[in-house]
Chain A
């Protein structure tokens, strides 16, 4: 569901970009990028069962 949510966030990013709102574009871009990076880190480290 998190992945589907990020795709939805990308769809909103497309809409705000087409409507030419610069600040919302920047906000949704970094929201998407941060979510992708965090999800990547989760999938990369989950199986390692790290004890931090």
Chain B
């Protein structure tokens, strides 16, 4: 569905969007296209501009310059009431003095709407969120998760072309959050509504989004599918923000070879002059400990400095003369630790797979 849509004009097009608050630049020349039916997450630390971008799309904070097009229509200067979107906030923003049913009906009631039609639509929406029997309750009588589902139903009541979610799950308990992630995603897929969600939670973005827009300091760092972002982070920022990453200092030997401590490692990087200082990055789970035989390329001998038990796996700090001053963290399964008898201060051989090593220009910044 998403693939097919790529060829036609995008549903939402943002071009050269800039937003300034006094001297502070919240958004710096943002350009982005979102396709019909797509679920896109704006992901980044607080203050990165993701919420500002969402509010610009909604018309709540009009941009300083730039253009927003929705369904081929220029909406850059339109007020929120003239745009076509539904919105859900972290705070739910349910009207406390109206019942669940009245909240959901809020956008449906106007001079032309027939009562029976409105009632039927409300029933349909409440059934959709699995709260068909709770229409007469007030928001204060519901749990946080239920309130957020009502807010979602209210936003979807008028069948908007675009659904905006501003950190919708951040105020909920961990378990409810995981459950609702799944439910929201299912609902979105069923309705096919184009959705933009703002979040600072990488796990949320990875599990829910078709594409993730990683933002930092008002600019887009990377746009891509979750796996792409995770596997091939375009910058150290993205690599560090999403998942866990080892960053160690290295030196380029020639194209395709990098030196780490005393070992030379094959990697997939070229274009760097020999002798250039680079940052070598690899995720802890990509370090291979199992079935390592000596003499294989990219194999390193080191020592287990420390081990922490994290439930389903151990995280080991690996260091040794071969690595120079660097320490690498590797994730080792509980089963493997038991079978191989891996323990602190034991020697350990491991492999850094060539295709998993990422090279970034410059020395690692201490984080």
Decide whether A and B assemble into one complex.
no
Q: Which positions in A face B, CB cutoff 8 Å?
A: none
B residues sitting closer than 8 Å to A (CB atoms) are: none
